[in-house]
Amino acid sequence: MARNLGPQCRNCRTERKQLFLKGERCKGPNCAITKKRGAPGKGQRFRMRKVSDYGLQLREKQKLKRMYGMLERQFKIFFNKANKMKGVTGENLIRLLERRLDTVVYRMRFASSRKQARQLVSHGHVRVNDKRVNIPSYILRQGDKVEIRERSKKLLVIKESLKEYSRSGVVPWLDVDPDNMFGILKTIPSRNDVIDLADIKEQLIVELYSK
């Protein structure tokens, strides 16, 4: 599986937004965005020049792609799927990304970041409808049950991640039993339900790929 092994905080600085690529650790005082560090690369004067329409579209795509930890080829595959579905392409794209198995594992608080969730899935710690699934990009359907494999329930990383459940709960389209480490996708989330993507302008991504 292709992975982005570059420095995570550099991506946040590039997009000038907290992408939470390291999960809850990004909320600490050492975050590059909290420290108001500038974007990497050339000098401040170069970075302040006016951005073209293409540049705005590209940045929006890069922002969303990096938040979900995807590389270009896989992100384009998801976009093409969304484009073939009925309805608004941009909203379909968000729904598909939110139904990825690694994203759902992260949303259920079994992992502290999407990157960690991807690793849990790849290493076979997660089951879907009582079957082992080790494909992070697996698309869940309404009513699917996601659970941690029995012998993996002792993993410290999962127990530590579940502490966030007691502090923040989970998103409304999921139902989670933290004690037994399983959850159900109750319903397909609408675009407005995904609050942490409120500032993402997915229409710009549609315009970029439509050229």
User: What pLDDT digit, counting tens, does each position of 61-98 carry?
Assistant: 999 999 999 999 999 999 999 999 999 999 999 999 99
* Structural domain span for residue 117: 100-185
Q: Is residue 41 part of a domain?
A: yes
Q: Is residue 1 part of a domain?
A: no
Residue the block writes with tokens 């938040």 = 67
The reply to whether 107 and 67 lie within a common domain is no
The answer to whether 206 and 162 have CB atoms below 8 angstroms apart is no
Q: Is residue 190 part of a domain?
A: no
Strands of the sheet with 145-148, listed across from one edge = 131-132, 126-128, 145-148, 182-185, 174-177
Q: How many structural domains is the chain composed of?
A: 2
The answer to whether 171 and 193 have CB atoms below 8 angstroms apart is yes
CATH code of the domain containing 93 = 1.10.1050.10
The reply to whether 37 and 81 lie within a common domain is yes
Considering the entire predicted model, what is its pTM?
Answer: 0.79
| pLDDT over 80 (residue 12) | no
Our separate counts of H helices and E strands in the chain read 10, 5
